[in-house]
């Protein structure tokens, strides 16, 4: 072992390298590390917050859905009722109309029947008259006998 100036040289080199490391190597790396640590911690906290918010909103959504279901069933039953009522009303209207039509039909038939009876009477009267003319072989004074004839026609 021969101690020589290499010892001093190594001490100087050591001092220079350490100084360089202290000034230019260590701080940027350790700062980047700490910054990243902070970033990751922030990110995790944000994720946690997001998760909680998501849970909350899911809860809210469930509630809203439940409310909507209740509302919908309400509306449905209301509509059912209304529909029933409408059908009921329509049935009534239809019944009334039906009665009215039937009624008017009856009246018409009655009228026609009466007219037909009238016409028949008149025809019977004229036929009877003609028959009487033939029988009597002379003219019958229509005016003189119309009373009888009308009476006759009315009896038919």
Partner 1 sequence: MSSEHGQTTGEYIQHHLTNLTYGQHADGSWGIAHSAEEVKEMGFAAINLDTMGWSIVLGALFIILFRLAARKATSGVPGGLQNFVEYMVEVIDNIVKESFHGKNDLIAPLALTIFVWIFLMNAMDLVPVDFIPRFFALFGVPYMKVVPSTDPNITFGLSISVLCLMIFYSIKVKGFGGFTGELLFQPFGKNIFLIPANLFLETMGLVVKPISLALRLYGNMLAGELVFIIIAAMLPLWIQWLPYFAWALLHLLIITIQAFVFMMLTIVYLSMAHESH
Site of interaction with partner 1 (CB under 8 A): 1-11, 13-15, 17-18, 20-22, 24-33, 35-36, 38-39
Shortest Cβ 50–partner 1 spacing (Å): 21
Nearer to partner 1, 5 or 136 (CB): 5
Check if the beta carbon of residue 108 is closer than 8 Å to that of residue 114: no
Minimum separation from the CB atom of position 44 to partner 1 (A) = 15
Q: How far is the CB of 7 from partner 1 (least distance, A)?
A: 5
Nearer to partner 1, 19 or 101 (CB): 19
Q: Are 153 and 125 in contact (CB under 8 A)?
A: yes
Return the number of the residue (32 or 116) whose C-beta is nearest partner 1: 32
Q: Cβ 40 to partner 1, closest distance in Å?
A: 9
Compare residues 14 and 81 and give the one whose CB is closer to partner 1.
14
């Amino acid at each position: 072992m021969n101690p020589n100036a290499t010892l001093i040289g190594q001490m100087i080199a050591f001092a220079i390298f350490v100084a360089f490391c202290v000034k230019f190597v260590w701080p940027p790396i350790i700062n980047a590390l700490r910054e990243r640590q902070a970033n990751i911690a922030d990110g995790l906290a944000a994720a946690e917050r997001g998760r909680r918010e998501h849970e909350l909103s899911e809860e809210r959504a469930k509630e809203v859905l439940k409310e909507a279901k209740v509302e919908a069933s309400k509306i449905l039953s209301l509509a059912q009722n209304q529909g029933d009522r409408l059908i009921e009303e329509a049935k009534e209207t239809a019944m009334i109309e039906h009665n009215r039509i039937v009624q008017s039909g009856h009246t018409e038939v009655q009228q026609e029947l009466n007219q037909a009876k009238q016409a028949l009477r008149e025809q019977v009267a004229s036929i009877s008259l003609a028959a009487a003319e033939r029988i009597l072989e002379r003219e019958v004074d229509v005016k003189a006998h119309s009373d009888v004839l009308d009476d006759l026609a009315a009896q038919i």
